[in-house]
Amino acid sequence: MKFEDVPVGEEFSLSKGPLTTMHLMRWSAAMENWHRIHYDRDFAVGRDKLPDLLVNGSLKQQFVLQLLKDWAGPEGWVWKAAFRFRSMNQVGETLRVWARVTEKRKAAAYGLIDLALGITNERGVESTPGTAVVALPFREGAALPYPFVAPV
């Protein structure tokens, strides 16, 4: 994808779920995050008084970066991403990870795409609002440098 091909206002998304206890357990094991609120329902609900098992914040972070990387494609570079975990997501939910192009800027050697992003559940509750910047090459320009060199 090239900088010139992206219109301001473009939206894109991916769906994850419904997330199961197995998803959360596997992610917890991979991350060596053994907090029981992610895989032990009796502990999460009974001891910590949570509504159910909670989706790991690092798993939601990975979903955001997967969306951005997949959208940028092999020619693009996810330069920045920032988000806040504003509410809990629970086991059983299907999450919609979304982004919208809010602005386009030209750097010397490539273009920069500013994005609003977030994660909503099937009830439309936004849990993870944020922003990102993706670098894309110009149609008639050179490939992005690797390693990526941030604009001055």
User: pLDDT tens string for the chain (152 positions)?
Assistant: 999 999 999 999 999 999 999 999 999 999 999 999 999 999 999 999 999 999 999 999 999 999 999 999 999 999 999 999 999 999 999 999 999 999 999 999 999 999 999 999 999 999 999 999 999 999 999 999 998 888 88
Strand order in the sheet with 130-136: 11-16, 95-106, 111-120, 130-136, 77-83
What type of residue sits at position 138? F
pTM of the model: 0.94
Cβ neighbours of residue 124 closer than 8 Å, sequence gap 6 or more: none
Among 21, 25, 23, CA closest to 34: 25
